[in-house]
Amino acid sequence: MPALTIDEAINYIYQQLREGRVTEARRVAQMILTQQGDHPDMQRLLLQTESLLPLERLNDMLFYTMKEVSRSNQLASQRLYRDILSDACYADPRRLERFGAKFYSQNDEDGILAEIFRRIGVSNHTFLEFGVSNGLENNTLLLTYQGWKGVWMDGGEQNIAFIRQKFAPLIEQNRLQVSQQWISVETINEVIAQFNLPEEIDLISIDIDGNDYYVFESLTCVRPRVCVIEYNSKLPPPILAVMRYNAEHSSHEFTDYFGCSLESLTRMAQRKGYQLVSCNITGSNAFFVRSDLCGDHFYTPATAEALYHPPRYEINYGGAFRVGHPTNYGHWEMI
């Protein structure tokens, strides 16, 4: 560190104290006193840092304890995940749970989607996703790295502003279209039509924490090959339950009154020509494939009762799907 004046040293010490670095602040105060002799302000600061040392040690202990607890929780949730998958029923090669993997999805959706498309192939590499939040953790971000293009919608003004800034390279390349929309039955087809998507898109993902059932039921302007839709896993088969339609429903109403049961969703999807092929382990999303594409690729009977998973959000919250560093996005040179 270069030589500091008394005023510079005092400012530096206060900065270190504001950031919780008591030991560093104390080291600088002692250095200045050694170099420049007794100074009343520096002596006073040295005494203050001495009284704060126990707090710094306590803070360090708390940090490392929290880190160890987090790691323990992660290991426990990974064991739970492995224990569930060890059940013999998941060994059937037509089932999809064991292919689950997280890269940018919230849970293990990335891996399940990859396996679905491995089995049925890809048409035009086009997606449509409702409820993308800020774009850093959704079901289609990974696909953009694989050359896909499509549309993201979210009702949050701040989310869309963030996406327009963070994902500017994709937008500028016309690989990503973004729209701030509160999705409703009344407007869904009109809104989608403005993006000039092909009628047969490969994937649609719906996660709007409320009217998901009604939006999918009303969708007519596109005919997705694969659909990922959130269901309310607190309502196990054979319960038939769909929340009453409310165009003003907000995703901020974070309770267990949302969406629909898997049984209701599966029956409606069948009427639209889709087969349930899987749910993910956490009981968050159901995966549907257009019936004309299914063949013998997927597990049967394709019923809600056979493929249902209960709510196991603790697997995600515990960190079983945690992958590397926190998610970010920037411009990548594809070379």
Question: pLDDT tens across 60-89, in order?
Answer: 777 766 767 677 888 888 999 999 999 999
pLDDT > 70 in the chain, percent: 96
Alpha-helical (H) ranges within the chain are: 6-18, 22-36, 40-85, 109-120, 141-144, 157-166, 168-172, 188-193, 212-218, 262-271, 291-294, 304-307, 313-317
pLDDT of residue 250: 66
Tell me the mean pLDDT in the region 295-323: 92
Domains of the chain: 6-67 (no CATH), 87-317 (3.40.50.150)
**Cα separations in angstroms, 32 against 6, 17, 24, 50, 254:** 8, 16, 13, 16, 55
pLDDT bracket for residue 195 (50, 70, 90): very high
Question: pLDDT tens across 236-290, in order?
Answer: 999 999 999 988 776 556 789 999 999 999 999 999 999 999 999 999 999 999 9
pLDDT of residue 53: 78
pLDDT of residue 44: 80
Written as six digits, the tokens of 180 are 């701030």
On the question of pLDDT at 1 being above 60, the answer is no
On the question of pLDDT at 200 being above 90, the answer is yes
pLDDT of residue 183: 85
184, 211 contact by CB (below 8 A): yes
pLDDT bracket for residue 192 (50, 70, 90): very high
Tracing tokens 């993308």 back to the chain, one arrives at 132
pLDDT of residue 11: 84
On the question of pLDDT at 334 being above 80, the answer is no
Residue type present at position 101: A
Tell me the mean pLDDT in the region 124-132: 96
pLDDT of residue 35: 77
40-85 helix and 6-18 helix, angle to the nearest 10 degrees: 30
Other residues' Cβ atoms within 10 Å of the Cβ of residue 211: 28
Written as six digits, the tokens of 195 are 């993006």
On the question of pLDDT at 42 being above 80, the answer is no
Q: What value does the mean pLDDT of the chain take?
A: 90
pLDDT of residue 252: 58
pLDDT of residue 251: 59
pLDDT bracket for residue 7 (50, 70, 90): confident
Question: pLDDT tens across 318-328, in order?
Answer: 888 887 788 88
pLDDT of residue 69: 64
pLDDT of residue 43: 79
On the question of pLDDT at 98 being above 90, the answer is yes
The region of weakest confidence among 143-152, 217-226, 315-324 is 315-324
CA dist., res. 56 & res. 60, Å (int): 6
